[in-house]
Amino acid sequence: MNSATEVLILGSGAAGLSAALRLAENGHRVTVVSKGTLAGGSTLWAQGGISAVLDEEDSLEAHVRDTLIAGGGLCDERAVRFTVGRGPDCIRWLVEKGVAFTQEDGELRGQRLHLTREGGHSHRRVVHAADATGRAVETTLVALAAEHPNITVREQSVAVDLVIDRAARRVLGAYLMHRPSGRITAVPAKAVILATGGANQVYLYSSNPFGASGDGIAMAWRAGCRVANMEFMQFHPTCLYHGDSRSFLISEALRGEGATLHVPNADGSVGERFMPRFDERGELAPRDIVARAIDHEMKRLGVKHVWLDISHKPPEFVRAHFPSIYEHCLKLGIDITRQPIPVVPSAHFTCGGVLTDLRARTDVAGLYAAGEVACTGLHGANRLASNSLLECLAFAQAAAEDLEVELPNLPEPPPIKPWDESRVSDSDEDVVVSHNWVELRTFMWDYVGIVRTSKRLLRAQHRVDLLKREIIEFYRNYRISHHLIELRNLVTVAELIVRSALERRESRGLHYTLDFPQTDAVAKPTVLTPGR
């Protein structure tokens, strides 16, 4: 079965939905694909906010400077200026769409938006909706997309792979699997936008939903696109440590509003504050520094978590600024107005990804990438807090603007050959998939985590090679499931991360190796090319 569309958008977070709405409002037929429900991606869980220069005392230059500093010398300054410069307009667009940001400071079309400050920022410039910004953005965009006559929504659908005309190096569409039925259909399209998010489920502990399995990165790599800077995986310093809530983030905004990090005493009580020993910015240091400091203290003391304490602030202030975190922790028996919060680092953001230009174009004609799936040059060796949603919005806008020019000139895609399952059989060994899933994520956490060594990386590379052969054999011979699709993509992404980490013989930003602790004088991106 073939069902044509002008633009096929894989992913329904901030990047995918904002691109869809911009295109649909200009009369283009768009199909948006979501693995689960339309609102089920990583954007929904983003707590902190969106960085944009809206305060008179702030400046675009200051935002550029803060981003470059956090990026460890590896940012593409053109991409930084491009993204930061689009920030205020992106916020205005969201306000016009009905996103209800927290109001107070910052003049914006009659509204006064409250601006908070997060780690690495020299000014208050983070627009937010209390501590659930992603939910406010996502639910607003979902409602608009669901009602738009030019947008077709395909929920509970997983992209199996892109369809590529190899001779012309052009994308023709994609194969999609409907999860409940297992049925695979071909969807031709003039253009495809990858908005599939990051690859953080490659690690055992992650703040991301389970769908963050690197699908777009792996599909683009198989399609012939270069990827860059995959060694820079950001670990959020403060994920809630609790057996009943393993992926809940404690927003960086808490530290922006005065929360402090402490080691636990022998009796479990709150001990000394430790961040000033590691960086003069204390808890407001960039995330890589804070995450390594926590990792260091946990290993030094042999403890399973550290404490994050905001109980010295007035209870009314805490409840007003962080209602979602307060309610979530309270349900688990932690009153953050009176008690410290147990936290650990967890895999949070993929700074590298599919290499794109400032129009969100990849190496394959008609194939675009926006958001965490892409490597635009904005983040460099480390992402500045709250630049991620900004990047989603800015490059979704860039992709839509480019497609507005290109779509009239693009040919209608030819029919795609139906998916062939004639030579596969049902597997009675699904336990292999679940076992390999756990094994992959465990050795990536142990060997390719916050602190690395060459020996651990080579060990990981060997394990990846073994798993990859096993998974490919399974994929070729048995009827696929969405778990197998994700596992196939995860092992590809794991290979790219390990290869990139082995190529970088220095420590920079999020990549810290004990074998090469120095930072080279000249910063160079790690670019991997398929077939090499």
H helices within 424-480, ranges in order? 430-447, 454-477
Greatest C-alpha distance within the chain: 69
Best CA proximity match to 127, nearest among 80, 76, 63:
63
**Can you tell me the distance from the alpha carbon of 407 to that of 427, in angstroms, rounded to the nearest whole number?**
42
**Can you tell me the distance from the alpha carbon of 517 to that of 449, in angstroms, rounded to the nearest whole number?**
15
**Can you tell me the distance from the alpha carbon of 193 to that of 371, in angstroms, rounded to the nearest whole number?**
10
Distance, first Cα to last Cα, the chain: 36
CA-to-CA dists, residue 27 to 104, 105, 359, 408, 492, angstroms:
36, 36, 20, 12, 37
H helices within 206-322, ranges in order? 215-223, 252-256, 287-301, 315-321
**Can you tell me the distance from the alpha carbon of 66 to that of 125, in angstroms, rounded to the nearest whole number?**
11
> Around Cβ 514, how many Cβ atoms within 10 Å?
12
Instruction: Give 430: exposed, middle or buried? Use CB within 10 Å, 0-12, 13-18, 19+.
Output: middle
Structural contact between residues 509 and 381, judged by C-beta atoms closer than 8 angstroms:
yes
Catalytic-role residue among 86, 287, 441, 488: 287
Best CA proximity match to 218, nearest among 185, 235, 188, 196:
196
Q: Catalytic residue at 287?
A: yes
Catalytic residue IDs: 287
